Amino acid sequence: MKETSIWAIYERRLRRVSAYIHDHLDEELDLDRLSEIACLSPHHWHRVYRAVHGETLAATVKRLRLHRAAGDLVGTDFSVEEIARRSGYPNLQSFNRIFKWVFGMPPARYRREGATRSFNRIRKKDYP
């Protein structure tokens, strides 16, 4: 019988969670639901997720939403305000501040210049 490491099992489970996150990025992501998908307790799931991905669920969601926002800026005609709202920011000022911190320029300039830039990983201790 072939032995499977616990990390291989976690990896398979976390892939299911990642797919769910991508498919439900516009929704409120519930820790209990994600832990069910991973077949782990909420506490254990969060510890494994952070150990494997190097960031919390909240940081992952913010990163993915900002990455999508950058694509929307250059690939759609949505207003910056619509993109900010879709990305989960309560107001345009918050979105502009975070977007500039991550991408090095405000969203309107990013849209004009069609800039691409390496995405900085958001860490809670670094978050403005």
* CATH code where residue 72 lies: 1.10.10.60
DSSP-derived letter for residue 128 is -
Last residue of a domain, one of 39, 54, 69: 54
CB of 65 within 8 A of CB of 33? no
pLDDT (0 to 100) of residue 53: 87
Could you report the average pLDDT of every consecutive run of 10 residues in the chain (128 residues)? 73 91 91 91 89 89 94 94 93 95 92 67 54
78 with 43, same domain? Answer: no
Nearest CA to 39 among 61, 20, 17? 17
85 with 99, same domain? Answer: yes
Number of domains present in the structure of the chain: 2
Residues spanned by the domain of 34 = 6-54
Measured in residues, the chain has a length of 128
68 with 44, same domain? Answer: no
Burial of residue 91 (CB within 10 Å: 0-12, 13-18, 19+) is exposed
pLDDT (0 to 100) of residue 121: 54
49 with 88, same domain? Answer: no
pLDDT (0 to 100) of residue 97: 95
pLDDT (0 to 100) of residue 1: 44
pLDDT (0 to 100) of residue 98: 94
44 with 74, same domain? Answer: no
pLDDT (0 to 100) of residue 7: 81
Nearest CA to 46 among 88, 9, 87, 10? 10
Using one digit for the tens of pLDDT, what is the confidence trace for 82-111? 999 999 998 999 999 999 999 989 999 999
63 with 109, same domain? Answer: yes
76 with 48, same domain? Answer: no
